[in-house]
A and B are shown apart, each in its own frame.
Chain A
């Protein structure tokens, strides 16, 4: 299985070529190189997948070389492939390829064309490292590289100062999670002395008996790092900031692939979470809270990309919810479908924003249905999949699985929250669609030049976002059995309930935003004190930024200003200064002759002293 390195190697080669060309090649050639490198990685991945299902092994392992080898502690550059990593690999490279094609159209004529593609290639390469890595430390390498690429791509339009600040904020907030991951690695290394996932899974029960508290801490830290990467409460503030990058970047990193790294991490180390059921419950609770919170925030957002970012957050909350109910397969399933429709939504949003001359406020759009019909259809399909319209969208099937697993797990409170979240999701999605595409037209639309690289990615994603997508997803090991065995007598009722809730949500939003008659009601709602509170709070992210500013940033700045003057240095510098004034000046006068031979003599005398002492010892 030596080919396993190729999905990492090809994009990395593309990155090297593009990075070292330094923008000397013309744009078409750059796009070609990037497409070829990711496309060949995609083909290799397909080949690997076909082979994998033909021979039906459980896992492949492939050692590249030793990385660290200190006595018993050995870390290797080990690649491994099982059903989970194959799924993730396919998603990363598949979505990456599609988005790469779309960026050929989107980035046309912009400055830094080759820079953009080199970053995306590096990103895909490092994401593959993250997914294929066999031990925690190697995975951490990919984890950090992904964070770096995210920073580079968010700050892509670096000439604008605020974009740089946003990129920095993203980098620093995700860093908190990264530090947690490092600490977790340290604790696991301390306990088990091997960072290999298999070894961890093997040793975990023994560790749990030996040192329960430390293992709990390690699991908690792993959870923290997953929260940081997957933008869950309370480390979620970066995801809305991350929207200043180009739209394909938002689609690639902040919707489809990078944010799912946290989910992947938890699924990889699921044995630890199973052993510490308190923390597993915490996962579910965090997911539920984030789900509701992000949904409520998305209800009042007016910036298109920000709205999509909050919806991403809430969908990731669903995945955390599923993880909390130990429904690993359901979480991964939702991850995959979410990757499809969220990539579609972001790409379409990028095209809409371009068509509206970089207008991002959805309140200023309206009636675009007739002027850009193709984008309307794409956005409609993606949005309905997000709202999980019953029976014909992929989002419905995956969410259904999550609800079923919650029911099976017997977690009724979380199930109710999830259903409530589903209602909110359908409301805000339809609000977004209605505000953009219906009603009177308020904005002049620019006609975009289109070609194959525009149509093809969107069409593929549209197809994948419908129920066809659920069939195209590589089947997971044990997926079907688990759910079928978990079928309880309530499952049909639950299904009907879900469908009715989604339809209710769509009905509410039609009632509120589509019909003209309810304009009065709407204004009344937004003008009432409760409505105003909701809107201000939602637009300000419910004060999380304010909170972090006052608790972390401002004290830190105060300390920094204090340290800037360096109070300690003044004290320390005083003593040598005084000594110098007393003794040193005279000594320097003696030594200040500038004659080389005297210096040489002194060197030799000193050497003599050292040799004598050494030999006498």
Chain B
């Protein structure tokens, strides 16, 4: 039997790993990939609870998350391309012009 607790824990671990990636990396591509991992982790948590309560709503939430992820990645990658066109690198800090 799969333990409910452990299944939730796995999703939390994946989520925290995603956060780690977003914070540590300064390459925009890696940040986007980490965001995808975070979204996947939350979707997994939804599915786990949905299975626990035997409810189909979790899968509907999963579809919502999937479409959000698709939108997010397409816009993020478009931004990445623009960043690359302008600065010839993918370092997110190269656009930080907000220093006072």
Contacts and interface: CB of A to CB of B under 8 A. Distances in A.
B96 interface: yes
B66 to A, nearest CB: 22
A312 B24 CA distance: 80
B88 to A, nearest CB: 19
Given A595-B93, A596-B92, A596-B93, A589 B22 contact: no
Nearest to A593: B99
Given A597-B26, A600-B22, A601-B23, A592 B99 contact: yes
B96 A589 contact: no
A600 B98 contact: no
Contacts of A595: 93, 96
Contacts of B19: 604
Contacts of B22: 597, 600
A128 B40 CA distance: 57
Nearest to A596: B92
Given A597-B26, A604-B19, A588 B93 contact: no
Contact of B96 (A588, A594, A600): A594
Interface string A576-595: 00000000000011001111
A596 B22 CA distance: 10
Contact of B97 (A589, A594, A597, A601): A594
Contacts of B98: 592-594
A587 to B, nearest CB: 11
A588 B92 contact: no
Nearest to A604: B19
Contacts, number: 28
A546 B98 CA distance: 59
Contact of B100 (A588, A597, A600, A604): A588
Nearest to B24: A597
B75 to A, nearest CB: 16
B93 A600 contact: no
Nearest to B100: A592
Nearest to B35: A600
Contacts of B99: 592-594
Nearest to A601: B23
Interface string B8-23: 0000000000010011
A283 to B, nearest CB: 60
Contacts of B92: 596-597
A97 B71 CA distance: 53
A595 B93 CA distance: 6
A448 B96 CA distance: 74
Contacts of A593: 96, 98-99
Query: Considering residues A588, A597, A601, which has the most beta carbons from chain B within 10 angstroms of its beta carbon?
Result: A597
A593 B98 CA distance: 6
A604 B18 CA distance: 12
Interface string A589-616: 1001111110011001000000000000
Contacts of B93: 594-596
A595 B23 CA distance: 10
B19 to A, nearest CB: 6
Given A601-B23, A604-B19, A596 B100 contact: no
B69 to A, nearest CB: 18
A597 B23 CA distance: 5
Nearest to A598: B23
B24 to A, nearest CB: 8
Contacts of A600: 22-23
A604 B92 CA distance: 19
Contacts of A597: 22-24, 26, 92
B55 to A, nearest CB: 22
Contacts of A594: 93, 96-99
17 contacts: A588-B100, A592-B99, A592-B100, A593-B98, A594-B96, A594-B97, A595-B93, A595-B96, A596-B92, A596-B96, A597-B22, A597-B24, A597-B26, A597-B92, A600-B22, A601-B23, A604-B19
List of 7 A-B pairs having minimum Cβ-Cβ separation, nearest first: A594-B96, A592-B100, A594-B98, A594-B99, A597-B23, A596-B92, A601-B23
Interface of B: 19, 22-24, 26, 92-93, 96-100
Given A592-B100, A593-B98, 19 more contacts: A589-B100, A592-B98, A593-B96, A594-B93, A594-B96, A594-B97, A594-B98, A594-B99, A596-B92, A596-B93, A596-B96, A597-B22, A597-B23, A597-B24, A597-B26, A597-B92, A600-B22, A601-B23, A604-B23
Interface of A: 588-589, 592-597, 600-601, 604
